Structure 1
Amino acid sequence: MVKGKAKGPKGKRITLKIAKNSIRVSFDGGLRLDLSKMGITTFPNCILKLTDVDELDLSRNMLKKIPSSIEKFQKLRWLDLHSNQLEELPKAIGTLQNLFYLNLCNNKLTTLPKELKLLKNLHILNLGLNCLDSIPTSLGALQELTEIGLFDNALTTIPNSVKTLPKLKKLNVERNPFPDSANQEEDADSIKRIETLYLVQEKDLCHSCLKTCQGEKDKLNKVMNVTPSPSKQPSFPLLLTPNSSAKDNQEEWRVRGKQP
């Protein structure tokens, strides 16, 4: 009879030498520590001696936990943890005041620490492909956010404090079990198009434009007056197999994270 608990995969051991050899100079002259796709199961403590880096990539590994010692990376502007097995984040994540880009996509997060609201310089946040059923309203404190990924979660609503962030240009909420998915996607799309919205008086419109606008208004009124059909239990197969779409999403977010 076998005694004791079954152990998980041992994973690759990262030494300080391996870590040093994984440092590259990024396109903007910063230092990037790339430990992605290395089969790591435990956060390598040896990299705490390399806290001068501007970018840290631990994506596509098997990490289940990020320790509080992550706070030692005070210079970090770019942190990629996508495609791991993270179930929670340490409160210390809020000390990384210089973070511009944070990718947590394709993990097992069910909650977010309130300390995330302290990342005042954060511009891009990817939380897609997780197990989140709610988003804290405190994320509305991140006034510099321009892009947020919330796709493929278990969300039923998005806080107004997040939808109305002043600099937000892209909010991806696709494939969530919203009570009315169409309306939620329209809300997200309106953020992307808000810069092209102008208000004018009817008297300033030509006959053709006025007729077009009136037609759109009539369509909207017709939609608003339609009685909603009985709700059905939503089905989201991608939530069961997140890796099927994670790869396609990551390259776009990585390129965006590199933009100044």
Structure 2
Amino acid sequence: MAKGAKAPKGKKITLNVAKNCIKITFDGRKRLDLSKMGITTFPKCILRLNDVDELDLSRNMIRKIPDSISKFQNLRWLDLHSNYIDKLPESIGQMTSLLFLNVSNNKLTTNGLPVELNQLKNIRTMNLGLNHLDSVPTTLGALKDLHEVGLNDNLLNSIPVSISKLPKLKKLNIKRNPFPKPEESDTFIDSIKRLENLYLVEEKDLCPACLRKCQHTRDKLNKIKSTALTTAPRKAIFSNLVSPNSMAKESQEDWR
């Protein structure tokens, strides 16, 4: 936006409009869906609906999230992706029920990530991709229940060791960051790149039927692999030929 230009006037969200945007999810939770509404400022009226379980404000033009968002104490799912947010409020650390936080595709810098994020002890998925982060707070390593972390499309040249040691980490997306070239990087960066987009499944996460299927497939692959290693390659046999073209040579005159 050009300097001095007025910010676009967004759609005004009233309490009645917000109430009509509450949906019930397939598992019976209440989701307030205000995505793609052309909102430019956080609608304060929705604070009166703070008993919802999920809040979707994605794909709008919101620039600032107020401290009052912490009033959503029951919130488990918060989606703010694709806005113009450059800073998260410190009060977000008080939303300890959060399991999912998506703030990708915004204007966040490292300074815009409050230390209080480390208070989200129950968080399982955090997407910080498509921002302007040049480093990752080591305090994120305190979030022991994190399963998925999105850090793609930022300005990162390293990843804290504390992130790689998260005990429940299953997916780490660090694509399209200016990491050092392989010959310049240490073994940690090399190993962390191998983790990129890696899904790890533990036996306890699978139902009995799926576990049996995975074990059967694994045994089948191991059998094929062992067979390939022990079986000598077969050679082609030309019992009647001195060389592949010997008969052709002998019959050249006949063909002519």
Count of residues in Structure 1 that have an aligned counterpart in Structure 2: 196
Give the direction of change, closer, same or farther, for the CA distance of 1:185–1:31 in structure 2 (3 Å limit). Answer: farther
Report what 1:205 is aligned to: none
Matched AA of 1:71: S
Q: Secondary structure at the match of 2:47?
A: helix
Query: Which residue does 2:108 correspond to in 1?
Result: 109
Q: Is the 8 A contact 1:94 1:118 kept in 2?
A: yes
Distance 1:133 1:93, change over 3 A: same
Quick one: distance in 1 between partners of 2:91 and 2:135? 21
Aligned-residue CA RMSD (Å): 2.2
Structure 2 unaligned runs (5+)?
203-224, 230-256
* Letter of the structure 2 residue corresponding to residue 30 of structure 1: R
Q: Following the alignment from structure 1 to structure 2, what is the Cα–Cα distance between the partners of residues 117 and 140?
A: 8
CA distance in 1, matches of 2:7, 2:95: 31
1:162 and 2:163 are equivalent in the alignment: yes
Q: Which consecutive residues of structure 1, in runs of 5 or more, have no partner in the other structure?
A: 197-207, 213-260
Q: Which amino acid aligns with 2:18?
A: A
Contact 1:174 1:185 in 2 (8 A): no
Structure 2 match to 1:17: 16
Q: Would the aligned equivalents of 1:171 and 1:188 in 2 still touch at CA under 8 Å? A: no
Q: Which moved more, 1:176-185 or 1:53-62?
A: 176-185
CA distance in 2 between counterparts of 1:53 and 1:110 reads: 29
Question: What TM-score does the superposition give when structure 1 sets the normalisation length?
Answer: 0.71
Q: 1:26 to 1:160 in 2, by over 3 A?
A: same
Q: Is this contact kept in 2: 1:150–1:172, CA < 8 A?
A: yes
More relative contact order in 1 or in 2 (CA 8 Å, sep 6+)? 1
Instruction: Please say which structure displays the higher CA radius of gyration.
Output: 2
Give structure 1 regions of 4+ aligned residues with deviation exceeding 6 angstroms.
Answer: 193-196
TM-score by length of 2: 0.72
Partner of 1:40: 39
Describe the superposition over 1:213-251 as per-residue Cα deviations: whole angstroms up to 9, x where unpaired.
xxxxxxxxxxxxxxxxxxxxxxxxxxxxxxxxxxxxxxx
CA gap of 1:190–1:101, structure 2 versus 1, over 3 A, is same
* 1:6 corresponding residue in structure 2: 5
Contact 1:99 1:122 in 2 (8 A): yes
Number of the residue aligned with 1:137: 138
How is 1:1-260 mapped onto 2 (pairs within 5 angstroms)?
A: 5-111=4-110, 112-180=113-181, 184=189, 186-190=191-195, 192=198
